[in-house]
Structure 1
Amino acid sequence: MRRIAVLLAVPLMVFLGVRPAEAHPMPHSVVVLDVHQTSVTASLELPAGDLATAGGGAPDQPEALRAYLAEHFRPTTTNGVAWTVTVGDLGSTAAEQTATGPYQEVTAEIELTPPAGGDVRHFTLGYDVIVHKVVTHTTLVSVRQDWAAGQITEGDEAEQIGTIAIDNRTMTVPQFTVDLGAGSSWRGFLAMLRLGGLHILEGTDHLLFLLILLLPAPLLADRRRWNGLATPRQAVRRIGWITLAFTAGHSAALVLGALTRVTIPARPVEVFIAVSILIGAAHAVRPLFPGREALVAGLFGLGHGMAFSFTLADLHLSTGRLALSLLGFNLGIELVQLLLVALALPALLALARLPIQPWLRTAGAALTAVAAVGWALDRLGVPNPVAAAADAVGGNYSWMLVALVLLAVAGAVHLMGRKPATT
């Protein structure tokens, strides 16, 4: 009996010394950090049921919810000086977890600002939302954007840096220290350089527009038909001017859109890009603007550049970082673009000299037009398999690069092995 009493007394003594807590299976919470130059933005995703259990209220009780979040989110410097916490937008959405099924999720945006001299890269998070009351709950902490560390992600991608949960031995929530290491402008610049290059490789629509304009560049127009052949020097000059004009157009729009922070709806811009590709495809079949391809490339490049500027606007960078990001992002776009044009050049020149050139050109233009129509419909709110397939090509850009290299080699061999055609 004595042993039984001791066994019963031990857990009783433990639980009498702690707060009442709930224990049951549940979805976890998510805290996603975006690290800026002078502040940190925290995006919270909280299971509504567990939030209510912990006394946090609900989205239809915004004042109570804001007060609860402010009370249980108390970041400090590493030596204990409190940060300023500003609870922003609140929301609610449906979510689902594999183990527990669908549930309601509360979302919140919170701005964390350090005191003068505080370091946004090293601080104590001071977070115990839900976990202070629900002992089986876990919070995943991730970093999504950290420009100075070269971490630039798009969408919901984030790198997990740790978890917050109650310590079952002490029944307390340990302090969570955020240590992001050293950051630098150079790492941010290189990250933007890489991001710019990836945007061209993965942006199938931008690349396709440029290539479809270059397709008839080695040809001459006569009576609204492509029935002549430019000299290699003329063809290279035209390709160079078209590439330069497209570069100038989207560079100007990129700088203007990013620096002025003008808000333009994304859908009209994306539809404009699809229409520009369709016009380029029609021009490849029958010359619509012969000799003025560079001008058209520059004008349509403005729309393509505006689409690029949306990426920079989403990063919410300070003026200094934005200037460096513009330089790196634009340079990445141009370097990869020049590489792709250089790889395509021999194939373009060789294709113009093949007897089946009209058929290949028409087939390429037709496929491009189909993709453009699919994109236009998708961006007007009509999802379709054509747009999905065209977008998937950008996700396999390594195969596209291999294909361009093989075409470049084949084109160069063909040009060296045959005399230029005269018609």
Structure 2
Amino acid sequence: MWQVRRIAVLLAVPLLVFLGAKPAAAHPMPHSVVLLDVHETSVTASLELPAGDLATASGIATDLPARAAELRAYLAAHVRPAGADGAAWTVTVGDPELTAAEQTATGPYQEVAVEIEFAPPAGGDVRHFTLGYDVIVHKVVTHTTLVSVRQDWAAGRITECGETEQVGVIAVDNRTMTVPKLTVDLGAGSSWQGFLAMLRLGGLHILEGTDHLLFLLILLLPAPLIARRGRWTGAAGPRRAIRRIGWITLAFTLGHSVALVLSALFRVQIPARPVEVFIAVSILIGAAHAVRPLFPGQEALVAGLFGLGHGMAFSFTLAGLQLSTGQLALSLLGFNLGIELVQLLLVALALPALLALARLPVQPWLRIGGAALTGAAAVGWVLDRLGVSNPVAETADAAGANYQAMLVVLTIMAMAGIGRLLIARKAATA
């Protein structure tokens, strides 16, 4: 009997320990990320590698830049792209940088970021290839690498839209204890898809670009009015007002289109900060003009001149895409067309309200109030772009994310303006 009890105790002890112990907490380690930017004749891979795991696998301390050459050699040996026919691609490893990163489950950690360019033999297909890749995973068998496409112009995927598409996961195969090659198939792609993507991007850029919209709308606000002795007085005739609004819109379009084309095609390198400050100052000047006429009758000329600065800002979007000459030409057309179509839509929606507002008794209050808000946003942007962060600039920037609400408001204003104009016409003919 005592033997039965002894066996029972021996079985109960580990059972009680198991039941009484707290469950083991999972501590997932940060994984690696590979983001692919697909160009016409090459692919750029942006690697984000946890520094601790990289040091463990490579045996090289992430003491940058002192150990940069060793890390580049390690990466070149463990990244082996090849075409669908098996032909090896050339690999060029950039300079690694040590950055700070954070993962929800594990908290902050250090990360090594590096860009690697893959290039097939002349005439090779960049849209179909195999990626032999075992960075870190050849030693740290629990590690995984997520591979995604960040930019692929021919497939209509643009970096600026902030969307990525995962194409695979690289990890050790537990059955064979090897790291299988990843097959990357990006489909056919076409210039048409790239053009449509840029058309969409241009439209979104003007909708989400609060500063560009404010500049145009604040110039249009006093356009239906007559300036006398340094003051805005009564409303101009409908034809005259529409003609002014048309010329201002056209001049702004020409200004930013010329600057966009010249700076993009000729790869003009312009510092972003002076351009952004210039745009904020142009809005401030437009707001002051809406209160008191600074350049009456010259609004179209001013819109064209300031439009040059706005066009330079638009060109920064294209400059970061690293497109070939042919892709850039189509992108310019699509991007600019997207901007103009949305701009025309917004002006068309605002036009009835602008014409009706010019004839309302509350017009001065609404105009000055709108100019004050716009001027405050402009001052906030000037300070922010000079390095002084402030809540005004943050609020104005956040307004661009609510462009759907803005479109709804403009549509309601357009309907109200049309109704007001119809009532006024009916009263005039009665």
TM range (shorter): over 0.9
Query: CA 1:345/1:25 → structure 2, altered by over 3 Å: closer, same or farther?
Result: closer
Question: Could you say what secondary structure the match of 1:246 adopts?
Answer: helix
- SS of the residue corresponding to residue 410 of structure 1 reads helix
2:50 to 47, 51, 58: 47
1:351 aligned to 2:357? Answer: yes
Q: Distance in 1 between matches of 2:159 and 2:86?
A: 31
Task: Provide Cα deviations, 1:352-388, integer angstroms capped at 9, x if missing partner.
Answer: 0000100110000000001111111111111111111
**Which residue of 2 is the match for residue 12 of structure 1?**
none
Q: Distance in 1 between matches of 2:201 and 2:125?
A: 26
Match of 2:48, as an amino acid? Answer: E
Residues 56 and 68, structure 1, Cα contact 8 Å, conserved in 2: no
Aligned match of 1:250? 256
Q: Deviations over 1:268-316 (max 9, x none)?
A: 1111100000000000000000000000000000000000000000001
Structure 2 residue runs of 5 or longer lacking an equivalent are: 1-26
Give 1:159 deviation, angstroms: 2.1
Are 1:218 and 1:349, in contact at CA under 8 Å, matched by a contact in 2?
Answer: yes
Residue of structure 1 equivalent to 2:8 = none
In the superposition, the TM-score normalised over structure 2's length comes to: 0.91
CA distance in 1, matches of 2:385, 2:302: 22
Letter in 1 for 2:384: D
Q: Name the counterpart of 1:69.
A: 75
Q: Deviations over 1:65-124 (max 9, x none)?
A: 011000000000112110000011221111111112211111111110001332111000
Note closer, same or farther for the CA distance 1:56–1:155 as it changes in structure 2 (3 Å cut). farther
Q: Secondary structure at the match of 2:80?
A: coil
Report 1:245-324 matches (<5 A). Answer: 245-324=251-330
Q: Larger C-alpha radius of gyration, 1 or 2?
A: 2
Q: TM-score of the superposition, structure 1-length normalised? A: 0.92
Q: Equivalent of 2:116, from 110, 113, 131?
A: 110
Q: Is the 8 A contact 1:25 1:136 kept in 2?
A: no
Structure 1 stretches lacking a partner, 5+ long: 1-23
| Secondary structure, aligned partner of 2:35 | strand
Secondary structure of 1:99's match? coil
Partner of 1:228: 234
Look up the match of 2:382. 376
Q: In the alignment, which of 385, 390, 393 is matched to residue 387 of structure 1?
A: 393
For residue 288 of structure 2, give the secondary structure of its aligned residue in structure 1. Answer: helix
Residues 12-411 of structure 1: matches in 2 within 5 Å?
25-55=28-58, 57=60, 58=62, 59=64, 60-154=66-160, 157-411=163-417
Give the match's secondary structure for 2:73.
helix
Secondary structure of the structure 2 residue equivalent to 1:151: coil
- Is contact 1:56-1:69 (8 Å) kept? no
Cα deviation for residue 160 of structure 1 reads 1.8
Greater alpha carbon shift after TM alignment, 347-356 vs 258-267: 258-267
Segments ≥4 residues shifted beyond 3 Å: 419-422
What percent of counterpart residues are identical? 80
* Aligned partners of 1:31 and 1:43 also within 8 Å: yes
> Matches of 1:421 and 1:317 in 2, distance apart?
58
Separation in 1, partners of 2:263, 2:179: 45
Deviations 1:222-254 (A, max 9, x none): 010001321000000000000000000000000
- Residues in 2 aligned to 1:56 and 1:315: alpha-carbon distance in whole angstroms: 35
**Letter of the 2:338 counterpart:** G
How far apart, in 2, do the equivalents of 1:99 and 1:228 lie?
64
